[in-house]
Amino acid sequence: MAIKHLVLELYCTQTWSDANGTVAPSFCKNGIGEPGYHCFDNCCTYMASTCAPHEIAYAGEYGEVLDMDAWIGFGGEMIPADADEGRISELKKTWEEVCRRKIQEAYEEYLKLMGDQPPEFGDKGQL
């Protein structure tokens, strides 16, 4: 079985203002306007998504990023106002290198906190 991790931004297109007495779907765990994995599981008609390029995040128990402090994406103030496409491409590569290094550092720090014991469930990435 092949596995692929995806980072997406998930939207609920149903809002309280346009619900007009419409009851949220029975599988809706968080209420109208609060999407989650359950939207995928139930092929929710109110679900919309877009890719989230160049982001790094910590996902909780259900693979959901729970708050704004648990992710960051490349953009905004990270891009100098005078940067052309070539420079932005270089900066994205640097961002990727930093993110990959930080992921490895987090893994190593975790093992150190455990007293250098191997993870219970196998190799790196299977904690």
DSSP per residue, 87-126: HHHHHHHHHHHHHHHHHHHHHHHHHHHTTSPPPTTSSTT-
Residue 61 buriedness (CB in 10 A; 0-12 / 13-18 / 19+):
exposed
The domain of 53 spans 1-66
pLDDT for 124 beyond 60: no
Looking at the fold, whether 2 and 19 belong to one and the same domain comes out as yes
Structure-block tokens of residue 34:
């609060």
Same domain for 12 and 38?
Answer: yes
Tokens of 81: 């106002």
Say yes or no: 95 and 48 in one domain: no
Residues 34 and 62 grouped into a single domain: yes
Given 66, 92, 111, the domain boundary residue is: 66
Residues 108 and 57 in one domain: no
55: closest CA among 95, 108, 107, 16?
A: 95
83 and 57 within one domain? no
pLDDT tens digits, one per residue of 39-83: 999 999 889 999 999 999 999 988 899 899 999 999 999 999 999
**Whether 29 and 50 share a structural domain:** yes
8 and 33 in a common domain: yes
Q: How many domains does the chain have?
A: 2
Q: What is the pLDDT of residues 2-48, one digit of tens each?
A: 999 999 999 998 876 665 666 778 888 877 888 988 999 999 988 99
CA distances from 24 to 16, 29, 32, 41 (A): 10, 9, 6, 15
The distance of Cα 94 from the centroid of its chain, to the nearest Å, equals: 20
